[in-house]
Structure formats: C-alpha cells, structure tokens
Structure 1
C-alpha cells in the first residue's frame, strides 16, 4: 500500500522540478531570440544613431543611370547624377568616366562622395565664361574623396571669361577635399569664395593636384580656417594671374584668416607660384589676416612668392593687420625673382625663415647672394615690414 505522506512529498518535488524546467526553458528561449534578432526601439539619440549606422551603406551612383548606360564618358548624365545627389548622402562614383555639362553637380550638406579608381568627371565643351563642375554652395559637413575632373580648356568654344572652375566652395563650412585631381579647366582648378557675405570656414584640402588650368591652380578669395596639405599647382597659363595658388580678396566683406599651407609644390606657372593680394580687404572695417607657409617649394614660376597690399581701395584710415610667416621655403629657377612684395602698410608683417634659393641655372645661392636678390631694386619694397632670417 502506498504511503500517503511519501506520495505527497514526491509529488511536491516533481511539481517543483517541472516549474524550474519551464522557467529555464523560457530563459533560454529569450536568450536565443535576443541573440539572433536584437530589437531596436527608436526612442533615443543613441537608438537613432544605431539605426542610421545599419542602413547607411554607400550608394553606387551608377544605379541611377539609365538602362544600357555607357562607360566611356560619351553621354551626358548630369541630371541622373544630380538626382542621386539629391536623395543620398553617402555616394560612390563608379570606376569609369562620366560626362557632365556646364550645369555641374550641386552638393548638399552632410554628404560624403567617394570616387573609385578610374572614376572621373569629363566636362562637355561649352562657350560659357563661368561654370563649376562641382558646386559646394552654402552647405556644411561635406567630404569628397579622390574626385577627378577634366575641364574643357582645349575644347572651349569661346574666348570669353576666365571663371570655369573644377570645384567651387562658397560660403560653406566643415568641408574636406581628399586628393582632388583637377586639370584643364577654363578658369581655376579649385575656387574658394564668399557668397552673400558668407565666408568659408574650416576648409581642409589634402593632396590636391591642379595642373594646366587656364587661370590659377587654386584660388582663394575668402576663408577663415583653411589648411592646404601637400598641394600641387603647376603649369597655370593663359589668363592672368596664372598662379599656382592665389589668395586675393574680392571685397571688403571677405576674410583671409588662419590659413596654413604645408609642403606645397608649385611649378612652371607663368605668374607666381604663390601670390597674395590684400587690396580689396580695404574699404570697410579693420581687417586681420593670418598665413603660415611651411616647407613650400616653387620651381620655374615667374616669382616664387609675391605679396601685395596696395591702398587703391582704402576709403579712410582702416587697416589690414597680421602676419605672413614663410618657413623653410625652397625657390628654384624663378624667371623673375624668388620673392617680391608691394606691402604698402606696415601693419602686415612678412617673416621669412631659412630660405633656400637657386638661380635660373640651378646654382644654389649663398645667404648673401639670396639676400641681394631679395632686396635688388624693389623686389621687396623699401617700406615693407619684413624680416629674413637665414
């Protein structure tokens, strides 16, 4: 006969074990479900960031091209490209040339564009005095990686104008260009300016290559916080000033501050390797400038470095104040002179440290010989506020 007491104890133990096994199975089930398909509840900034990171995959712009598109750069796909730029913020250009017209491509804020090896934008030849293949106007947070642009300089159907640009940055901030390669533009390879009194702020251009552009390799009329890291700008000719890198304000609303150039290489420009013009900063309130050039080299341009501040735009007693620091320049075979100034205000200070100079034949000059060339006649104007330290 079954013992009632033992029976009740055994039954209780069995019930406890069954309950424990059920609870453990539920925990395991929950763990497996969570590990396979984690849920994201969009209710916080972190959740939104996580969701964005999951879906932010670079968009191949060729998906926006028409069916049976060509890969040899012979058909104009400007409107298709712009449609993609208007929809996506992380874009990849494919590894083949694409033809665009003088309308150009407008870049929106918070956009990253990467050009794969072999990718390039070819400009449809036109007769316009002014164009921009890529326009970055009044936007922020833009990154362009490895853009390659070939202009229409040698197929341009008019002689008018000098402002056909590869990339124009106007009134924008937090812009990065990595390794832009721009050749054969009717005007400048890269052009930075203000727009509606908005100045550029915090612009970085790394390893630019600008060659055989008709006006300048790189032109800057307005920037506050600009870094040019290892730029190349050579063989500018056809329309003055034909400089490698040209800093030249256009109006008294412009700013040229916090500008750093590292390891620039300019060569064989019919104008200057690097030129600076501050005349148009006059005409309004007092202005401040700031330049530092480190380890910059020019070969074969008319003048290695030219800085001017004439007073033709001055309307009162306003001043332009600041420093131009030139450290370790290397000027070689300049056809006119390695260094020239026309700084007619002593509030602009030029400081040249440790220059190395070769004459037109490639003979390296002694410090005394270099100083004699710098100060010959009015290569450096006698009223300029300058120091040269060897």
Structure 2
C-alpha cells in the first residue's frame, strides 16, 4: 500500500501514539474514488435502481388459489374486507397463492401457521382497512416456523389512519418465529414498523432470512428488531421513516434482558431520508440479567440524507450488578452521505463491545467526499464517538 502523499504520512506519524492508546488502527492507503458510484439511483422510488433491485423475485407458482375461498361475487379493487375468507384458506392449506389484485384486510390481520409457503403474484397487495387501533399486524407469524413468503406486498394505513393513538401498526410481524425465509417483501405506509421481529413468551426468533426487503414511508421504523438469533438481511431498503421516534430505517433495540442479538448479518443495506438514523443499534435493555453475547456483521451499508448514518449506544441504566454485554459490532465499507446531523453517533460506555469500522466513506452535507484523514476526524469528533470505548477505525 502507498501513502496518498507526504503530508498525509506526516499526519499519520503524529497520531500513532494516540491511536495506540485508544486501540485504533489508522492507515493511509490508496482508495478508489467512489464519487461515481451509482448511489444516486436509489434517491427516489422512480429510480431505475429501485425498479431493478426490488422487483418481484421469480418464484415458480404452485399452491391453492385463495380466490377459491372468496365469495362468488368478490371484488378485485381492494374495497371489501376479506380477512376471514383469507384466514380460512391459510389455515387449511400448506401452499397458498394470492391473486394479482389488491385485497383488503382488517386490523385483525392474517396469522400464518407452521409449514406454509405463501406466494403473492405480481399485482397482489394486502391493503389494511383504515383503523383507529394503534396496534395491528397485517401478516403475523407467532411461535411458528418452516415458512416461506414470496413477494408479499403490504400497505398500511399511515395516510388515512383514524385518530393518533399508538405506534405499533406493523406490516409483517415475527414473534418467536423460526426457520423463516422471506423473498422480495414490500411494506409501505404502516402506522408503526414495516417489518418487526420480537420475542414471544421469551422465545426469540431464530434462523430468519429476508431478501430484498423494501420498506418505505412507515411511521416509526422501516425494520425493527428486538430479539433474534440468526438473521440475514440481504439487500434491504428502508427509507423515509417519519412520524414518531425513532423514525429509523433499520433499528435494533432490545426490550428486555431475555432478548438476543446473535449471529446477525446485514449485507448491502440501503437507507435514505429517514428523520432518525439510517441504521441504529441499542444495547441498554440487554442489561439486567445474565451476561449476554452479541454479534453483528454489517457489510456495505449505504445511507443518504438520514439524520445520522449509523447510531449505536450501550449505556448502563439497566445494569443491576456486574453483568456484561460482550461481542463485536463490525461495520465494513460503509458509505454515509449528506447526513443532516452526523454520519456516526456512537456512545458505547463499555469496552466489552468492540466497534470496528473498516474503510468508511463519507460525504458532507454538500456532497463533498472527504479524505481519509477528514473521515477519521469526523468520526472521532467528541460528539460523534465516545473516545474511551473499544473501537477501531481502519482504511484499506
């Protein structure tokens, strides 16, 4: 590797003693300029990026056609509530196909049991009937597993909700689920979160794989996770979350010390224009019980225009003794740009969690790409990173 220039090498020599004291690696190497990356293609829903990236996954269609369970005079415009008919079809069949037109469901939503494969044809939508309830789940999987969902399209009632109570209207909810594969899901306009993963009766979600999720304009978060052991998020999009805090693109926040954040991999996440962070992870509520182990691998996260690109914290307000939360939080090749507050906010008050950031790229609010030296300066600014935490920043 070559130093970029002589001045940069001098700066390296000056900061090495400080970096060693803080367990940081700071290296200057030639980096390919990324100004021409096709990131702008995901700025709006009309972009070629979204049309290509989040098109329906090609799935062979077999199974029971749910229109066979609808009344004989059923409508195809999503104007009538067919919740009970759809639930009956799901209960009685293991392979189910939803038709290529919108269908309305009420705030009871649809419960999916174990050993099901459900495919939604192109043009299919589940439309939530406007409700005053602040707590609904359009599609729910609870203490069930061995389920595959192909191309579900879920539309909430954020734009025509009745009243203003609550914040828990979810598109897809997984509660103590296991062995779940979700392909090409699209969730928009929910009163709470687009996708929500939580424990059920202290049973965490296990072995969850979600490919090409698209979550836009949901009121609280695009994707929320409170407990999971084994999660793959492959190429998720989460943008324009707004309405009630934290309004993040993707949010990991435990609810209680019985929750888990284990074996989590996020590849090529795209977040944008969330009024909160693009991606956030909070560890506070894991304290209060036994020692916990966490593990995150986050590869190639891109955020544009959210208030913060990436936010994480581990504070001890719920610690009751000397219990620890230990593990790695690895962020590889992030690209954070035009964040209105900061590209990074990291308040880790423990050294048992190691934050590793490798080869970060940052653009300022005006779209100017920063040098590695400036990136390091921004990330380690006193309000952006707790300098006493266990962190490592390196450039390839």
TM-score, normalised via structure 1 length: 0.85
Residues 1:62 and 2:64 are matched in the alignment = no
Separation in 2, partners of 1:199, 1:172: 7
Tell me the equivalent position of 1:46.
none
Instruction: Tell me the secondary structure at the aligned position of residue 84 of structure 1.
Output: helix
Q: Deviations over 1:220-239 (max 9, x none)?
A: 00000000000000000110
User: What is the RMSD of the two structures over their aligned residues, measured on CA atoms?
Assistant: 0.9
Instruction: Select which of 330, 334, 344 maps to 1:329.
Output: 334
Moved over 2 A (4+): none
Map 1:6-155 onto structure 2 (within 5 A). Answer: 58-155=63-160
Q: Secondary structure at the match of 1:189?
A: strand
Output the CA distance in 1 between the equivalents of 2:389 and 2:306.
23
- Could you tell me which of 332, 340, 348 is aligned with 1:343? 348
1:205 aligns with 2:210: yes
Q: For 1:260 and 1:378, locate their aligned partners in 2 and report how far apart those are by CA, in whole Å.
A: 28
Aligned-pair distance for 1:61?
A: 0.4
**How far 1:99 moved relative to its partner?**
0.3
Structure 1 CA distance for aligned equivalents of residues 343 and 387 of structure 2: 17
> Displacement of 1:57 after TM fit?
5.2
Task: Give the drift of 1:377.
Answer: 2.1
Q: d(CA) in 2 for partners of 1:57 and 1:156?
A: 35
CA contact (8 A) 2:62 2:97 kept: no
Q: Is 2:205 the counterpart of 1:191?
A: no
Q: How many residues align?
A: 335
Structure 1 residue 384: Cα displacement: 1.2
The 3-state SS of whatever aligns with 1:217 is strand
2:378 is matched with which residue: 369, 373, 377?
373
Partner-residue secondary structure (3-state), 2:329: strand
* Offset, 1:129: 1.2
Correspondence for 2:321 among 312, 316, 322:
316
Separation (CA, whole Å) in 2 of partners of 1:270 and 1:57: 41
- Where in structure 1 are there 5+ consecutive unaligned residues? 1-55
Unpaired stretches in structure 2, ≥5 consecutive residues: 1-60
Partner SS state of residue 307, structure 1: strand
Structure with the higher fraction of residues in helix conformation: 1
Query: TM-score w.r.t. structure 2 length?
Result: 0.84
Paired residues of 2:143 and 2:175 also in contact (CA < 8 A) = yes
Q: Larger RCO: Structure 1 or Structure 2 (Cα < 8 Å, ≥ 6 residues apart)?
A: 2
Structure 1 residue 108: Cα displacement: 0.6
Go from structure 1 to structure 2 and tell me whether the alpha carbon gap of 1:87 and 1:347 turns closer, same or farther (over 3 Å shift). Answer: same
Q: Which residue of 1 aligns with 2:42?
A: none
**1:243 aligns to what?**
248
